[in-house]
Amino acid sequence: MPSHLDSRRKTAIYVLASFSLGVLLTASLLWHGPRPAPSQAVAPEPAAARSAPTQGEPAKRPEPLSLWGDMPDGDTEGDADAAAWPDDAPTPEQVFTDQPEAMRKALSRLAPRTPGKPNLYAIAVGADGSEDVFRNEAEYVDAVVGKRFASPGHTVILENNPATLTTRPLASWTNLEAALGGLAKVMDPREDVLLLYIATHGSSDHTLLIDMDPIPLDQIDPDGLADILSKQPFRWKVVVVNACYSGGFVPKLRGAGTLVLTAARSDRTSFGCGADSDITYFGRAWLAHGLSATPDFIEAFGKAKAEIAGWEKRDALEPSEPQIDVGAGIESKLDAWRKAARIGPPVPFQPAH
């Protein structure tokens, strides 16, 4: 959907699409019977090239099976996406319509800011529901902000994952707008720092995959993300886009008071996603290793870029070349935040459970 659609038009489209999906899903359940439970992913440290899938354009999904046509014996490929929806979860329509309440609950759990100093608040987005790796990173951002940076209750997590359909708001365009609007009421937008971390797949046309199949969700491109952020009053921002081709977001997001970090150049893939991975290369290098070594986001990026280059050289991968853009004033603001913050010990990475 084009990025210029406003929230009301998107909501109307969502409602119509959701109603249609409810009818189709009911018919599908009656026709095909119960779905199998999802499998569990296990992930290694970055190693050989064979275990380093890119975060590029996800594989093309199979065409949906006709509800009324004959399915060949033994052909279960058409139900592969549907199998990700848990049998014990509410229906997709119920999850979709519950999002305003899910956002209300998430925002109600935010802790008040500490007066007299710059505060750090974060929005962590794990946007592709087909792989646990993105959920892992979103949850880990919360741990780092809460423990390493001594700011518990300062993170809103938006997550597309079968395991969190009833416990986290979905990662969606509308929920991102709501999360930013909610934070603007808790933070001092002129004094505090907003950290926005997005982890998902990215395409060569610089579109981020926002997916919790079969719920219809708008995708986010550089114009869309820039538009979402421009409507908010935050003066100081750190925007991290961990996806293939994410360097394509830099031109639209750069500006005074903004630090932009991306996992790859605009024409390069990044690595470390997939069903066999717990954390991406960039997530491991910047979030887990870099920010454990230093609370300085920019210094941590330098360490991460060098570490990723080493992994890619070892595994004979085309360099992803993570990108950074430091807007006027943001380095000084982050320095002031660190001086006032109570930086805690490093937080070891653990996959979400």
Q: Nearest Cα to 226, choosing from 191, 176, 269, 301?
A: 176
Q: How confident is the model at residue 5 (pLDDT cuts 50, 70, 90)?
A: very low
Q: What is the mean predicted confidence (pLDDT) over 324-349? A: 97
DSSP 162: G
Q: How many domains does the chain have?
A: 1
Asked whether the beta carbons of 114 and 247 are under 8 A apart, the reply is: no
pLDDT for 54 equals 53
> Which residue has 């959907």 as its token pair?
1
Q: Is 56 inside a domain boundary? A: no
Per-residue model confidence as pLDDT tens digits over 235-244? 999 999 999 9
Q: Is 66 inside a domain boundary? A: no
> Which residue has 């095909």 as its token pair?
32
One-letter amino acid for residue 340 of the chain: A
Q: In terms of residue numbers, what domain contains 223?
A: 92-340
Q: Is 267 inside a domain boundary? A: yes
pLDDT for 106 equals 98
Q: Is 41 inside a domain boundary? A: no
Q: Is 222 inside a domain boundary? A: yes
Asked whether the beta carbons of 10 and 174 are under 8 A apart, the reply is: yes
One-letter amino acid for residue 193 of the chain: V
DSSP 108: H
Q: Is 10 inside a domain boundary? A: no
Supply the DSSP string of 7-55, one letter for each residue: HHHHHHHHHHHHHHHHHHHHHHHHHH-PPPPPPPP----S-SGGG--BS
Per DSSP, the three-state class of 131 is coil
**Which segments of 94-182 are extended strands (E)?**
120-126, 155-159
pLDDT for 353 equals 76
Residue 97: how many other CB atoms lie within 10 Å: 15
Per-residue model confidence as pLDDT tens digits over 148-201? 999 999 999 999 999 999 999 999 999 999 999 999 999 999 999 999 999 999
Q: Is 82 inside a domain boundary? A: no
Per-residue model confidence as pLDDT tens digits over 284-309? 999 999 999 999 999 999 999 999 99
- For the stretch 90-96, contacts whose Cβ atoms lie closer than 8 Å and that sit 24 or more positions apart, written own/partner, are 90/165, 90/166, 91/22, 91/25, 92/18, 92/21, 92/22, 92/25, 92/214, 92/215, 93/18, 93/19, 93/21, 93/22, 93/25, 95/165, 95/166, 95/170, 95/212, 95/215, 96/14, 96/18, 96/170, 96/215
* CATH (domain of 195): 3.40.50.1460
Per-residue model confidence as pLDDT tens digits over 46-95? 433 333 445 544 433 223 222 222 323 333 333 344 447 999 999 999 99
Per DSSP, the three-state class of 261 is strand
d(CA 118, CA 327): 18
User: Would the pLDDT of 104 be above 80?
Assistant: yes
Q: Is 68 inside a domain boundary? A: no
Per-residue model confidence as pLDDT tens digits over 108-125? 999 999 999 999 999 999
Q: How many CA atoms lie within 13 A of 72 on its CB side?
A: 4
Instruction: Tell me, yes or no, if the pTM score tops 0.85.
Output: no
